[in-house]
């Protein structure tokens, strides 16, 4: 339950003066539906208004504030033609104030012969100085109402900067007095203002770097504290120790010896599983680094200890891929592996449910169907989740609720994540990294070509499939519109079919699941030679015969997304090639991105460089980063402040009594304020 002190901030924006249904629409487009959203809608920049006494040619192109007196009105043509007001400064120099709309209102603002304070951009039109639609016109008695520095906000159609500033001021007037949650020595060392002063100050003067830092820290600290509380709650719960004797793992026949990174990760997991405290571990590994083998060994440890393991995959086709891979690997072992997806019906489903209930199924692989109400486990000891960014905490909790005692949890992700972001997204987890590739994997050769050479690329594609090999062709990101991206993919598939016939398949995000799965399965079987795809589809299928990846419009993608797409090839022992087709208008950042893709296959290096190059953009590539983490903290400030926030959060939890002490009570308010209060619920349930 949110504390009453904060409730005024979470009221709907309609309670503010002047906000009705019409104004609420553009606010909703910006995600500003509550008072707190307006307070946290920080200015993106500012306008410096230079006060001057006289008009000066040197100020052309600048925003100035000057006292002017209207001398005459000129409006040639009808009432819809522009109004030009000739006005003079104190020295008699003239400027033309031009209004293309509302001439009657402009005349009221600037009556003939009466001085007014005018602020706007000074430009030159022919031989004249000119201001078009000045930003402010005030009576000299209102001089103090015009600040020298004015904040600039992100807007949507139907909103003006002035109106947004007025709404922000109303929101700030509702800010309550809150106790300090930052550790005092840290706040003093950083020179940060109090919370209320920082938020009020940043709206008045967006150049206040210390105020912006402090607000960013508050949000990051709330995030890190929430993760620390979840972790502490998990540590207090008693789980099921799983100590395997190694007899199943000894029977496992592998085509290659595990890498040092795999052995290290398996050792860390084995140590965690042997404890009563439930494991909470993130397994990060680049595409092809062998995460599935690590997960299999963990599940075999659970089976050796007399427990069951469940592997949760984000899509049915990935679940079936995992099932076939693991079933082959454990062939000959006294292990029963089953699959359960939404497609499984009738007797097969009933047999699986019975096997889980009586314990005869040791390893279950499936989609979200594996934690539905009808599914009951005899002794679930380990849950493995593949591709964490596709599952929320709620789904994770539903799965772990299937056991009498909290099961151990292993989360896998194939998206290499910079260490800073790992702390902010998975701070409650221990982390294992697979930073080596299994032997036999060849690096993917990457080439960058101009899109002007697309016909040559099509010729090369023809030679490729003539050798009975397969390829992907990913179509460009047209805009933030699934429809436009789909149109680009459909056109590319149409052109390729004219040349190569029915060997061309098409998948996109608007297809229904079974239809999409059918196309992907046909590609897996080799019936389709080329798979054309939009970027909204995650092509996570293991097709070793697919050794060519063509990415059209590669300059429009982020580094991490390019790397993920490239990782769809190079999954066997054959030489693989990735062709990046770029446009001709490239900036320096885009050139650096494409050069790095050509230079390295190291996903972790690419992820770190992606964070550095993209800054405030979508760090992990379009639609890859899951839920947006922060609205007050920029990526640069996240990088700078996360270590301090993580240490401060652990200090509060481990030394200062969590949320019970004086600072803890203030931090509890912060969690609700920043909407990280799910962590408070875990304390109650824990």
Q: Answer yes or no: CATH 3.40.50.300 is held by domain 247-434.
A: yes
445-600 to CATH, choices 3.30.70.20, 3.40.50.1370, 3.40.50.300, 3.40.50.2000: 3.40.50.300
Phi then psi for 123, rounded to 5 degrees? Answer: -130, 175
Give the pLDDT confidence of 192-241 residue by residue, as tens digits. Answer: 999 999 999 999 999 999 999 999 999 999 988 988 887 777 777 788 99
Give the pLDDT confidence of 133-187 residue by residue, as tens digits. Answer: 998 999 998 888 787 788 999 999 889 888 999 999 999 999 999 999 999 999 9
pLDDT at position 541, please? 67
On the question of pLDDT at 683 being above 90, the answer is no
Q: Which long-range contacts (CB under 8 A, 24 or more apart) does 517-520 make?
A: 517/316, 517/317, 520/317
Residue labelled with tokens 């959203």: 37
**CB burial class (10 A; 0-12, 13-18, 19+) of residue 164?**
buried
Start-to-end C-alpha separation, the chain: 17
Of 22-31, 90-99, 527-536, the least confident? 527-536
pLDDT at position 9, please? 95
pLDDT at position 465, please? 95
In this structure, what token pair is assigned to residue 8?
A: 């005024």
| In the chain, % of residues over pLDDT 90 | 55
Would you say the pTM of this structure is higher than 0.85?
no
- Tell me whether the CATH fold assigned to 247-434 matches the one assigned to 445-600: yes
Q: Please, what CATH class does the domain formed by 50-146 belong to?
A: mainly beta
Asked whether 567 and 531 are in contact (CB, 8 A), the reply is no
- Other C-beta atoms within 10 Å of 105: how many? 12
Half-sphere exposure of 534 (CA within 13 A, CB side): 25
Half-sphere exposure of 556 (CA within 13 A, CB side): 15
**CB burial class (10 A; 0-12, 13-18, 19+) of residue 501?**
exposed
Residues 6+ away with beta carbon under 8 Å from 504: 493, 496, 497, 528, 529, 530, 532
3-state class (DSSP) for residue 337: strand
Look at residues 53, 39, 49, 40 and name the one whose alpha carbon lies nearest to residue 145.
Answer: 49
Residues 6+ away with beta carbon under 8 Å from 241: 273, 274, 275, 276, 305
C-alpha–C-alpha distance, residues 504 and 511, integer Å:
16
Asked whether 19 and 13 are in contact (CB, 8 A), the reply is yes
Asked whether 66 and 90 are in contact (CB, 8 A), the reply is no
Of the pLDDT bands very low, low, confident and very high (cuts 50, 70, 90), residue 634 is confident
Instruction: Please state the separation of Cα 191 from the chain's center in Å.
Output: 30
Give the pLDDT confidence of 592-613 residue by residue, as tens digits. Answer: 889 999 998 888 788 777 766 6
Give the pLDDT confidence of 447-478 residue by residue, as tens digits. Answer: 999 999 999 999 999 999 999 999 999 987 65
Beta strand segments in 319-426, E: 337-340, 363-366, 380-386, 408-413
| In the chain, where the domains are located | 4-46+154-207, 50-146, 247-434, 445-600
On the question of pLDDT at 619 being above 50, the answer is no
């Amino acid at each position: 339950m949110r504390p009453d002190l904060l409730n005024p901030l979470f009221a709907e924006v309609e309670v503010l003066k002047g906000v009705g249904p019409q104004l609420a629409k553009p606010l909703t487009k910006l995600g500003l539906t509550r008072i707190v959203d307006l307070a946290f809608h920080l200015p993106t920049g500012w306008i410096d208004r230079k006060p001057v006494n006289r008009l000066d040619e040197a100020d052309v192109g600048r925003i100035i504030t000057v006292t002017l007196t209207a001398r005459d009105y000129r409006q040639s043509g009808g009432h819809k033609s522009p109004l030009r007001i000739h006005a003079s400064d104190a020295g008699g120099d003239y400027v033309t104030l031009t209004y293309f709309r509302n001439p009657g209102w402009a005349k009221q603002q600037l009556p003939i012969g009466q001085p007014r304070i005018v602020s706007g951009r000074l430009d030159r039109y022919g031989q004249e100085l000119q201001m078009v639609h000045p930003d402010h016109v005030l009576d000299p008695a209102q001089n103090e109402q015009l600040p020298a520095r004015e904040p600039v906000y992100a807007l949507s159609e139907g909103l003006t900067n002035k109106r947004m500033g007025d709404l922000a001021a109303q929101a700030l007037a509702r800010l309550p007095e809150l106790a300090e949650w930052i550790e005092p020595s840290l706040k003093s060392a950083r020179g940060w203002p109090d919370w209320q002063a920082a938020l009020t100050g940043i709206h008045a003067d967006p150049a206040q770097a210390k105020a912006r830092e402090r607000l960013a820290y508050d949000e990051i600290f709330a995030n890190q504290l929430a993760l620390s509380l979840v972790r502490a709650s998990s540590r207090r719960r008693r789980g099921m120790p799983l100590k395997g004797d190694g007899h199943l793992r000894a029977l496992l026949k592998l085509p290659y010896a595990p890498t040092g990174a795999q052995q290290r990760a398996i050792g860390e997991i084995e140590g965690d599983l042997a404890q009563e405290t439930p494991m909470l571990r993130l397994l990060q590994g680049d595409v092809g680094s062998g995460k599935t083998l690590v997960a299999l060994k963990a599940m075999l440890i659970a089976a050796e200890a007399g427990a069951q393991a469940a592997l949760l995959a984000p899509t049915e086709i990935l679940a079936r891929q995992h099932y076939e891979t693991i079933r082959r690997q454990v062939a000959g072992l006294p292990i029963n592996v089953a699959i359960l997806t939404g497609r499984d019906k009738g007797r097969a489903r009933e047999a699986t449910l019975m096997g889980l209930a009586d314990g005869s199924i040791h390893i279950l692989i499936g989609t979200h169907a594996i934690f539905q109400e009808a599914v009951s486990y005899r002794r679930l000891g380990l849950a493995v989740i593949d591709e964490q960014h596709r599952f929320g905490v709620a789904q994770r909790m539903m799965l772990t609720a299937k056991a009498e005692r909290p099961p151990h949890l292993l989360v896998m992700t194939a998206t290499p994540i910079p260490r800073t972001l790992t702390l902010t997204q998975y701070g409650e987890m221990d982390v294992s990294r697979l930073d080596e590739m299994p032997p036999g994997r060849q690096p993917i050769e990457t080439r960058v070509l101009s899109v002007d050479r697309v016909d040559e690329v099509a010729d090369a594609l023809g030679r490729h499939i003539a050798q009975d090999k397969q390829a992907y062709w990913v179509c460009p990101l047209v805009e933030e519109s699934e429809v436009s991206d789909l149109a680009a993919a459909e056109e590319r598939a149409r052109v390729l079919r004219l040349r190569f016939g029915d060997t061309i398949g098409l998948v996109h995000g608007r297809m229904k699941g079974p239809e999409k799965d059918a196309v992907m399965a046909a590609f897996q079987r080799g019936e389709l030679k080329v798979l054309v795809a939009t970027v909204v589809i995650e092509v996570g299928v293991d097709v070793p015969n697919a050794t060519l990846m063509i990415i059209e419009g590669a300059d429009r993608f982020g580094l991490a997304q390019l790397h993920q797409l490239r990782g769809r090839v190079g999954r066997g022992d054959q030489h693989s090639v990735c062709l990046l087709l770029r446009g001709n208008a490239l900036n320096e950042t885009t050139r650096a991105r494409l050069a790095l893709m050509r230079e390295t296959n190291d996903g972790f290096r690419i992820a770190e460089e992606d964070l550095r190059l993209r800054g405030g953009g979508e760090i992990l590539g379009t639609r890859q980063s899951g839920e947006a983490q922060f609205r007050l903290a920029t990526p640069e400030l996240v990088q700078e402040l996360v270590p301090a926030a993580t240490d401060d959060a652990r200090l509060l939890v481990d030394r200062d009594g969590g949320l019970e002490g004086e600072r803890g009570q203030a931090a509890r308010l912060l969690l609700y304020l920043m909407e990280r209060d799910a962590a408070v619920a875990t304390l109650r349930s824990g």
